[in-house]
Amino acid sequence: MKISFNRNELVDVLSKVQGLTGRKSNLAITETVLIKALDSGITLMATDLETGFEGSYPAEVETEGIIAINAKKLYEIVRDYPNETLALNEADNRWLEIGDRKVFYHIVGMNPDDFPDVPQVEEVPFFEVDSRKLKGMIEKVLIVGGSSDEKRAHMLGVYFERLTDGDQKLIRMVSTDGSRLSLADYRFASDFDLPEGPGVLIPKKALQEINRFLEPVGNVRIGVKDNHLVVKKEAETIIVRLLEGAFPKYAEIIDRQDGYIIAVEKSNFLMTLKRMSILASDDYRAAIFDFSASLLSISAANPALGDSKEDMEIEYEGQSMKIAFNPRYFIDTVNVVKGDTVLLYLSAENRPCLVFDRDDDSFLSAIMPMRV
């Protein structure tokens, strides 16, 4: 293989695949990126065995070939190379020559035959979505992470479903860690041709990688088939192996019937939460939210550090309620609210607090009370 390419064409994509190739694995080959050189250009492939990436890019191909090379080192070379055009030549025994007389690298490659197969899913029923909106949707549900030692599929994944709400069609993502829930909707016009299908579980790690490749402009295509999610851009495709398992029924958690809605100014609420979380630790995570007429008092206590309290004026005329919450969960949620006003929905001291964006009804978060 002997090729040359514009480093600016590849530096960004090599940066993005580090999330796949940098994952801990017993297989060294998953730390590589596979390069295929054909007449029409080059194809790059990367995988962590759960998520596969494939992209096609322009290059001058003097000799066709295929090789696997350490993705991190290739990225660092391309990123810091001083010239715009970079030459790459495969020598004997899978050694690779990169550069020119002035800046030259001689690094070892790996056997491309050992590179894991990236699934090829045919005849996928795609539908098109706005890339920026999908990116925002993913960021909202990923505020709920997953523990590294978690084994339950519904904790490791984000539930993805296609729904009809009255005369409107939508896709929905829901994530939970047992202590909170985050939900984001993407609505289509009533005449939109949204393929039907059951709800599926997308690994949270895979959604993080998808999010890296989404641009703030343009559209992407999404499809689900044969236990895989496929996200396709013009020259790049990401294929994700879905998780097996059921997601908890969440309708009762987000139900709003007999309760109170409290509007709070976003920036003031956020700063109060941050101040009240200063004394938090692994053993003392809770803060007491005391709702009374026209006032919200938030207090925190940590025997090893001290205590704190702050009052906020609010428009609230309901019954007094004193509830313990983890303020960090509110901070995570408020940070993804785009509008200036946050809505809090309370129904009882033993029920979750629902958090909304007043200017965006496609998002909500449910935060469970804590026992203290």
**Residues 6 or more apart from 319 whose CB is under 8 A from it?**
none
pLDDT of 62 higher than 80: yes
Token output for 35: 């390069």
In 23-84, DSSP assigns E strands to 32-38, 41-47, 51-57, 60-63, 65-70
Q: Report the SS3 class of residue 269.
A: helix
pLDDT of 150 higher than 80: no
Nearest to 332 by CA among 282, 367, 369, 283: 367
Percent of the chain scoring above 90 in pLDDT: 85
Helical residues (DSSP H) of 142-260, grouped into ranges: 153-156, 204-213
pLDDT category at 191 given cuts 50, 70, 90 is: confident
pLDDT category at 317 given cuts 50, 70, 90 is: confident
- Residue 346 is predicted with a pLDDT of 94
Q: Report the SS3 class of residue 109.
A: coil
Angle between helix axes 7-16 and 204-213 (nearest 10 degrees) is: 160
- Residue 81 is predicted with a pLDDT of 95
For 134-157, what is the mean pLDDT?
A: 89
All domains in the chain, ordered by first residue: 2-114 (3.10.150.10), 127-241 (3.10.150.10), 260-367 (3.10.150.10)
**Residues 6 or more apart from 241 whose CB is under 8 A from it?**
50, 51, 119, 203, 227, 228
pLDDT of 218 higher than 80: yes
Alpha carbons 30 and 19: distance in angstroms, whole number: 11
pLDDT category at 187 given cuts 50, 70, 90 is: very high
pLDDT of 90 higher than 90: yes
pLDDT of 363 higher than 80: yes
pLDDT of 305 higher than 70: yes
Angle between helix axes 131-141 and 204-213 (nearest 10 degrees) is: 150
Nearest to 347 by CA among 250, 273, 262, 248: 262
pLDDT of 148 higher than 70: no
For 90-99, what is the mean pLDDT?
A: 93
Alpha carbons 220 and 282: distance in angstroms, whole number: 41
Output b/e per residue, 33-48; b: 16+ Cβ within 10 A: bbbbbeeebbbbbbbb
Share the mean pLDDT of the chain: 94
Sheet holding 287-292, edge to edge: 306-313, 295-302, 287-292, 321-325
For 92, counting Cβ atoms within 10 Å of its Cβ (0-12 exposed, 13-18 middle, 19+ buried), the class is exposed
For 110-138, what is the mean pLDDT?
A: 94
pLDDT of 168 higher than 70: yes
Alpha carbons 366 and 156: distance in angstroms, whole number: 18
pLDDT category at 290 given cuts 50, 70, 90 is: very high
Task: Give pTM, 2 decimals.
Answer: 0.92
CA torsion angle 66 72 74 78 (round to 10): 140
For 15-27, what is the mean pLDDT?
A: 90
